[in-house]
Structure 1
Amino acid sequence: MKRKSLIFSIGLLSFAALSGTGCGIDDPVYVVPSMSNTQYYCDQNRQMVMSLGVNNPNAVVLYDGNTIHLQRDLIEPNIYRNGTYTLFSQEGFATLEREGVPLLTNCSVVQPERLERSVIDKIYRG
């Protein structure tokens, strides 16, 4: 008897949590990508965290306190969209646009200072 009431209580809590977030039957369901969060460093000292699914058509971008859910383009595998935002991602570089206007540009997984130092080290070391 106690087990049934515990399962029922957990079910009610799950329902309450989902209904409190605005999730409804008509709302799109986004699956969180399986790849871990990756920090990207962009122009104007801006940063974003991006998660891309390896075998998953979804992407999540965390930028300026916002969570942006995107889905992979059907034709271009390196482009993710959601109607407002477009993410271009390829081999450690990314650009995020909002309604066709670049928002985050020249984003890279390498910090600019570290990149500059590695170039300087190569120059000094020959």
Structure 2
Amino acid sequence: MTSRDDELYSEIGRILFESAPEDAQMLFLDAELSPENDHAKFLYDYVNEEGVKTWFLPGTPATDSLLLEKLVELRKFYLEQSLTNNLPVWHGCLVTVDLEKMKINLEYRYE
């Protein structure tokens, strides 16, 4: 049985995959969430088939809304499951999606 955090990682990866440029090999999302969970700052980058890293914008503004929803849910999951080791919950993260290996990694930032 898959845990909820694994499901959220998959959903975040899927949203990014669906918004990626066609020649993308790696995707990067640098996300900074507000303390109130009502907005975020997103920076999108990708590495193309030639190995060149550049920024991109998703094709629809709905991508930002969907990612915000999933990241807020993930952050709440960390709090509810006491996964913060009695530290403040993370406020940002770098999401890396390797499209060749279909792997996702999240590196969290704390204050």
TM normalised by structure 1 equals 0.24
Instruction: Report the structure number with the largest CA radius of gyration.
Output: 1
TM normalised by structure 2 equals 0.26
Flag the structure with higher strand content: 1
